[in-house]
Amino acid sequence: MTEKTILVLGAQGVLGQFTARALQAAGYRVLRGGRRREAAEDFRWVDLDVPGSLSAALKGVDLVVSSIEDPEVRAELEVLRQGGAMLSQATIPASARRRLQQVAESGARGTLVLNSGFSGVGALVARQLLEEYPQATRIELGYIISAGGSAGLAGSRYIHRLLATQPQLRVQNRKFPAPRGVRPCFDLSDNDEIWLSSEVSGKRLVQTWLAVAERPLSGLLRLLNKLGLLARLPQAALTAMVRLKPMPSRLTCEPMRSRIALYQNGRLLVAQGVSAEGDYNSTVQSTCLFVGALLAQPEGAWPQGLYGVEDLFRLHDLRADLEQKRILVQALVD
């Protein structure tokens, strides 16, 4: 097999650095992209505030993997407009995704694949279940996110972005795979987030539920929610709870669990759970799997445009590889 060259954007951060290491261990030639200049041969300087820096870094690259959280989605837009292929680990809001979709529909030259982290596995499960239960009228996606572990400050900022959007959110219990079990979840259905491609969900209602792994923090957030104060929660209040850590030598392995359920007119049809270890660890492992699946396709087979991993891949084709990476899909009995 010809050695493929992968550029990892954001490789000076925790997620990007461990993604680069894992891809290198898998046998790819990896270039690390970042804003702080380095003299290393495997480094390429990329500053999205500097026009042209990304274009220069893309020369000779087969695939880009990006861990950069950029509200303006500048790297994603450049790949769509100029050509190439990118897998994005970033959590891209619906408003930004609509902008990407407009560019893609106006004549994309590149291939952009979103949702390449742990949530992408849940999207694959949802696609398979919808093929088995096409009569479903509602899709439920449930995720547990941690403010601790390797995600640290980034995890806290993400929790704030998801929850501090309204004074009060609906809270209901949802069951996740062990050891998480039944957890109180916030209803994010009205949030500016997309967790499943509309090509897969169709016109069905998609409800997203989010639980916070740390019980004391979850309790505090639910109290603020009950008082109608959730939207007033400053981001600093969450990030102050997380001690700033140096670059870790290894990723944490806290239990990551998600829930995918289908309903028909209020009646549960089926529920499955996804289990993995570690927030960033599961993201790295999922990304490596999707990179392999994409690069295994024949040269020129990548469709141009904007996609989620659930649009391009099938769970049954990747299940054995997922299990090798200790990412397990199992039935969930409510």
- The answer to whether position 321 is within a domain reads no
Query: Which residue in the block uniquely carries the two structure tokens 């957030």?
Result: 221
137/260 same-domain check: yes
Q: What is the mean pLDDT of residues 25-30?
A: 96
Any idea which of 73-77, 105-109, 263-267, 288-292 has the lowest mean pLDDT? 105-109
140/33 same-domain check: no
pLDDT of res. 284: 96
**Number of CB atoms found within 10 A of residue 267's CB:** 10
300/283 same-domain check: yes
Strand 171-175 to 182-187 pairing: antiparallel
Number of domains present in the structure of the chain: 2
- The answer to whether position 325 is within a domain reads no
- The answer to whether position 322 is within a domain reads no
pLDDT of res. 242: 58
**Residue 299's CATH number:** 3.40.50.720
- The answer to whether position 287 is within a domain reads yes
Q: Which domain holds residue 286?
A: 3-115+279-312
Tokens of 186: 């916030």
Cα(229)–Cα(102) distance, integer angstroms: 36
pLDDT of res. 125: 98
Which of 255, 277, 299 is the C-terminal boundary of a domain?
277
**Burial annotation 126-161 (CB, 10 A radius, 16+ → b, else e):** bbbbbeeeeebebbbbbbbbbbbbbbbbbbbbbbbb
289/269 same-domain check: no
- The answer to whether position 328 is within a domain reads no
Cα(41)–Cα(18) distance, integer angstroms: 18
pLDDT of res. 1: 47
159/269 same-domain check: yes
53/139 same-domain check: no
- The answer to whether position 53 is within a domain reads yes
105/123 same-domain check: no
Q: What is the mean pLDDT of residues 231-255?
A: 75
9/127 same-domain check: no
> Is-contact 219 248, C-beta < 8 A?
no
- The answer to whether position 99 is within a domain reads yes
pLDDT band at 286 (very low <50, low <70, confident <90, very high): very high
pLDDT of res. 268: 98
- The answer to whether position 88 is within a domain reads yes
**Percentage of the chain surpassing pLDDT 70?**
94
pLDDT of res. 249: 81
> Is-contact 126 331, C-beta < 8 A?
no
76/12 same-domain check: yes
Q: Is the pLDDT of residue 121 over 80?
A: yes
pLDDT band at 233 (very low <50, low <70, confident <90, very high): confident
Q: What is the mean pLDDT of residues 64-78?
A: 94
189/58 same-domain check: no
CA torsion 13→16→22→28, rounded to 10°?
-130
Q: Is the pLDDT of residue 135 over 80?
A: yes
123/207 same-domain check: yes
219/283 same-domain check: no
Q: Taking all residues of the chain, what is their mean pLDDT, rounded to a whole number?
A: 91
Q: What is the mean pLDDT of residues 179-196?
A: 89
pLDDT of res. 111: 96
> Is-contact 260 125, C-beta < 8 A?
yes
**Residue 158's CATH number:** 3.30.360
pLDDT of res. 150: 58
CA angle 260, 265, 270 (to 5 degrees): 30
